[in-house]
Chain A
Amino acid sequence: MSNVALEVRDVVKSFQTDTGIINAVDNVSFQVHSGEFVALVGPSGSGKTTMLSMLAALLTPSSGQIIIDGVDLARMSEKQRVALRREKIGFTFQSNNLIPFLTALENVELMLRLNNRYNRAGAVRSAELLSRLGLGERLANLPGQMSGGQQQRVAIARALIHSPTLVLADEPTASLDTERAFQVVQTFAGLIHENQRAGIMVTHDLRMCKYVDRVLQMRDGKLVKIYEDRKEIDALGHGE
C-alpha cells in the first residue's frame, strides 16, 4: 500500500454571514494516497472550493486538521505555507490559470524558478512534459494564442513539473467541450498515476469520474458518500 499523502481529520470551516453562522465545510474526514486520483463532486454551494482552498493552505480551517506529507498545516507559519504551496502543491484553476505574459514553456518553468530548481535539465523536462500533453508545437505560444483546452494542459504541466506531493485541480474542464475535457482528464489521470502524486479534482461533470479512483461527494458542507467501487463510479457518469 502506498503512503498517505493527504489526511483530512474532522475539518470544519464556518463563515459568519448576515443570516448567522454557516458551516461551508462540516466535519469532513478523508485520506488520499500517493498515486491516487480523487474527484470531489457535489452541488453548487456544497463546499468544494472551500475544501480545496483549505487543502492549498489558502484558508485556515475553523477546527480539525489537514496533514500533508505528515505535517499539520496548522503548525506552519505563513511563510512556511507559502513555501508549501510552491514545493508540495501543484495547482490548476478553472480560468486565468496562466501568467499571460509568459509562454507555455515559461509558465511551466516558472514553477521550477520559484523553487530555485530551474536549470537546463529542468527546461528540457518542461518541454518534454508539454510535448506529452500534446503541446510540443506550442512551447513558445503565449496563453492568449492558445485555446482554453491548451491552456488547461499547460496548467496541468505546471502543476506537475516540480514533483509536488499533492495536485489540486478546480474544475479543470469547465471551459472545455466534452471531447477535449475527456482528453485532458485522461492525460491528467495518467500522469498522476505514473508519477505517484496524490490528485484531487473538483468537478461538476460526473462523466469525468470515469478516470478517477474514488469520488468524494459533498452536500451542504458534509462528505455524504465516498464511491470506491469501479462500477459505481462509472455508473455515476452515465446516470445523471
Chain B
Amino acid sequence: MIGEPGNWNPEKRVMNTFFLAAYLAFKETWRNRGRFLLVSMVIALIALLVLFIAALGEGLGNGNREYISRLDAQLIVFLDKSDYIISASRLDQNSLREIRRLDGVESAGPISASNTAILLLPSTKVQKVSLVGVDPNQPGCPPVLEGRVFRSGNARETVIDRNVALRTGIKVGDIITIRSAQGTKDKFYSLKVVGLAAGQSFFFQPSIFVSPNTWEQVRPKGEAELNNTVAAINVIAVKMQNPAQLEAMKQLLTSQVTNIQVADIPTTINNVPGYSAQQGTVQTQAVFTLLIGVLVIGGFFQIQILQKVPQIGVMKAIGSTNAMVGLASVLQIILVTVIGVAIGGGLTYVFSLFFPPTIPLVFNGQASAFAVLVLLAIGPLGGLVSVFYAVGIEPLKALKLS
C-alpha cells in the first residue's frame, strides 16, 4: 500500500535531506572542480582586493589617528568654535590650570602640534615629522618604550616615534638636527634623543616629542610669533578618574571653563582634516568591489543553473524535494565561496610579506575578520536568485525535453 508516502519520521527526513544535499553539492563541485576552482579564484581575487583595501584603509587611518587613538585620555578640549580641528584651536595656560582643578579630572596635559619640522640626517636626506610639544608624564605624552622621557623646561631632549628610528637608523643617545623656519630665515636646532615611543603617526607623519618650552623655541614660526615665550597650546588632553562619566565630564568642562568645546577621542579622530573623506573613499572602494563580487558570483551561478535545468528537472521528476534541490545549491555556493575566501586570505598573507613598508598597510584582526565575514556573504547573496530559480524549475521539464 502506498498509504502516506514519505512517512519516515520528520527528524530523519530533515537529516536525510541535509546529507543528500551536501553529498550532491560536494560531488558536483568535485567532479567539476576545474570550473568551480575558477569561480573560487575569482572570489579569491575579490577577497584579496577587499582585504588589501581594508588594510589600506586601516593603514591610512592609522597614519592620521595613531597618536590620538593611543592617548591616555578620554576627552580632548578645543578652543570654542574651532570645529574640533587641532590646528585651528588655541588655548592658554589658564584653561589648563582650570581644567586641572576640576573634580573628576585625574590629569590634563597640553598638546602643541606643528607639522612641518624637518629632521636633517648626516646625509642630505630629510625626514618629515610632526613636532609635538607635551608635558612629560602628562596625558599627551606617549609611553616611552626605550630610554627615558625628556625633561621639562628648556632641555633640548626628545622622545622619538619608533618609526622615525626605523626609517632613519637613529638610536637613543644620538643628537639630531632639525631645520625650522623662523620668520624668513631657516634655523637649525640640535636635540638629544633620550627615548623611543611606539608608532605615533600624526597628520601622516611619524612624530617627535619635546617639552612645551622646547617646542615653542624650535617650532617653525612666522615673523609675528618670533617673540613668543610661552608655548601656544593647541588642545588639552584630559584623563578622567572615572572614564564612564564621559558625558557628565563634558558638561562640567564646558560649564566651568570658558570659551572651549570638548570632544571624545572618536570625534576628535573623525575631525582630523581629511580623515572622514579618506575613510569614506576607501570604504566606497571596498563596497563597490564587494558589489562587483556579488554580481560576478550571481552571474556565474545563474548561468550554471540555466545549464542545469534538465538535470534539476530530472532530480525533481524522480522525487527530490524543492528543499533538497535548494539546499544543494546553497551548500555548493557556500563551499565555493569558503574555498575562494580561504585562498584569498592565504594570498593576502603571502603578498603582505612582500609589500614595501612605505605602503601603509595595516592588517588589523578586527577589520580583516569583518571583511572576511562580508566576503563570505557575497556568494550566498549573489547566488540567491539562482537558488530561487532552481527551486522553481518544473519537473515536467525533464519529460518535455524528450
Contacts and interface: CB of A to CB of B under 8 A. Distances in A.
Interface in A48-70: 49, 52-53, 56, 58-59, 68-70
Interface stretch (B5-13, B246-254, B264-272): B5-13
Interface residues of A, number: 45
A172 B33 CA distance: 31
A95 B16 contact: no
Interface stretch (A17-25, A110-118, A219-227): A110-118
Contacts of B8: 116
Contact of A71 (B2, B24, B27, B315): B2
Contacts of B24: 99
B31 A111 contact: no
Contact of A114 (B310, B311, B318): B318
A58 B317 contact: yes
B401 interface: yes
A68 B12 contact: no
Interface in B128-180: none
B169 to A, nearest CB: 61
A171 B395 CA distance: 17
Contact of A58 (B3, B4, B23, B399): B399
Given A84-B2, A86-B318, A96-B311, A113 B23 contact: yes
Q: Classify chain B: how many residues form its interface, as a range.
A: 35 or more
Contact of A69 (B2, B31, B320, B321): B2
B42 interface: no
A93 B398 contact: yes
Contact of B318 (A49, A91, A96): A91
- Majority secondary structure of chain B interface residues (helix, strand, loop or mixed): helix
Interface stretch (A36-44, A75-83, A181-189, A190-198): A75-83
B185 interface: no
B399 A93 contact: yes
A27 interface: no
Contacts of A87: 2, 5-6, 319
Interface in A158-217: 158, 165, 170-171, 174
B321 A82 contact: yes
Interface string B266-293: 0000000000000000000000000000
A111 B311 CA distance: 14
A58 B402 contact: no
B350 interface: no
Interface in A96-118: 96-102, 106, 110-111, 113-116
A110 B20 CA distance: 9
Given A58-B399, A87-B6, A114-B320, 9 more contacts: A49-B402, A69-B1, A79-B6, A82-B319, A96-B311, A96-B313, A101-B27, A110-B318, A170-B402
5 contacts: A58-B317, A82-B6, A85-B317, A91-B318, A93-B317
